[in-house]
Amino acid sequence: MFCASKHIFGRLAPLRATSALPVASSTRPSFFSPRNLRILSQSRQFASVKDLYYQAQKPASSPAEHVKIVEVGPRDGLQNEKVIVPLATKLGLIERLSSTGLRVIEAGSFVAPKWVPQMADSSSILAHLSKHPPQLPTAAHKISYPFLVPNTKGLDAALANPTARPSEIAIFASASEGFSQRNLNCSIEESLARFAPVVSRALDAGVPVRGYISMVIACPYSGPTPPEAVVDVALKLLDMGCYEISLGDTTGVGTPHTVDVLIKALLAAGVPVEKLACHFHDTYGQAIVNCMVGLANGVRVFDSSVAGLGGCPYAKGATGNVSTEDLVYFIHSVGMDTGVDLQRLAEVGAWISDSIGRKNNSKVGPALLAKRPEPATKAEDPASS
């Protein structure tokens, strides 16, 4: 059930920024109960949650609305691992993810190795993907493998081999001055000025560009991020030529209220909803319910990381991205489609967790795998006893 402050076995009070958080249910009936929908529909920020209910009630014959998943595990998920992950393991992860039905898999980052040593082999990953593309589920299935590019030097490296170029690149700005100074060593305006030639050159080379904005809710150095600061950066990235803007709740402090306010501010400023993506971290356990708010506001692109891999090396205390397994499970539960084979994805999450010796932070993945039938054992031959 959903709960909030001033809720005592009855009506939900309108949510405020300081109210307790709604708790996402793990089963569709409780989440979509008529009572919850009636209560939520009376709050402006959740008015369109009814649309999710009606989407979930569509007949099976109706075509499901598609939600795009941007898998960031091989880059954002692994970049903060203290022990260098072998190249073969990274390639194995990308190849396994490619077999699940995912269509966008962020594969690496052309950052200076001294800053993010885990990404030092990104050129090798790009070359391998170009020479030995992973086997895809069907002939019609196409996958994009973006690479993060922080500056013109990184772009030079990404475009160095004309036969092995990324299908797209991503740049990252911050909506927080404090984080921009610590992460990029420059102000927000200076960072945008640096990105302008990167975007221009990439587009001239026929490489699409995606823009990330970090600290869209709050920053550990600067405090709460004003929505207008995010709007300003988003509009400038779109003006540069970015085809999509990913809103990063880098420290995972977002709540349904703050996420709703932010998205509505962007839409009110004229940012098309189809240009927006949401990138939530699960530090406070709010990632899935924040994805629900994104869906209710019309967002249909979400970043996630298999097994909940990730964290930010420049944001102390930030934990992993929302788990791809959990996100896919949730999206399918509201009657929408991702094209992803959830069972196979859960197996990939278990594999990479075992491979790098870390806890699987997905809730759904291990639960699904625990339901698998035990392998049949050969009956003992009485004659041999």
79 SS3 class: coil
Alpha-carbon Rg of the chain, whole angstroms? 21
DSSP-derived secondary structure letter, 273: G
Q: Are strands 244-249 and 209-214 parallel, antiparallel or unpaired?
A: parallel
Indicate the residue type of 6: K
How many residues are present in the chain? 385
CA dist., res. 12 & res. 1, Å (int):
11
Which residue type is seen at 73?
Answer: G
Report the C-alpha gap between 318 and 217 in whole angstroms. Answer: 13
- Short-list 173, 175, 174, 155, CA closest to 165: 155
Residue 328 to residue 283: CA distance in whole angstroms: 19
Which distant-in-sequence residues (6+ apart) come within 8 Å of 83 by Cβ? 356
Catalytic residues: 312
User: What CA–CA distances, in Å, run from 74 to 36, 95, 210, 348?
Assistant: 38, 11, 17, 12
Do the Cβ atoms of 299 and 263 come closer than 8 Å?
A: yes
- Please name the residue that has the structure tokens 């070359």: 127
C-alpha to C-alpha distance for 357 and 367, rounded to whole angstroms: 19
CB 300 within 8 A of CB 205: no
CA distance 308 to 254: 17
- Name the burial class of residue 108, with classes exposed (0-12), middle (13-18) and buried (19+) by CB atoms within 10 angstroms of its CB: buried
Whole-number Å distance between alpha carbons of 38 and 318? 35
Tokens of 150: 């922080």
Cβ(246)–Cβ(303) below 8 Å: yes
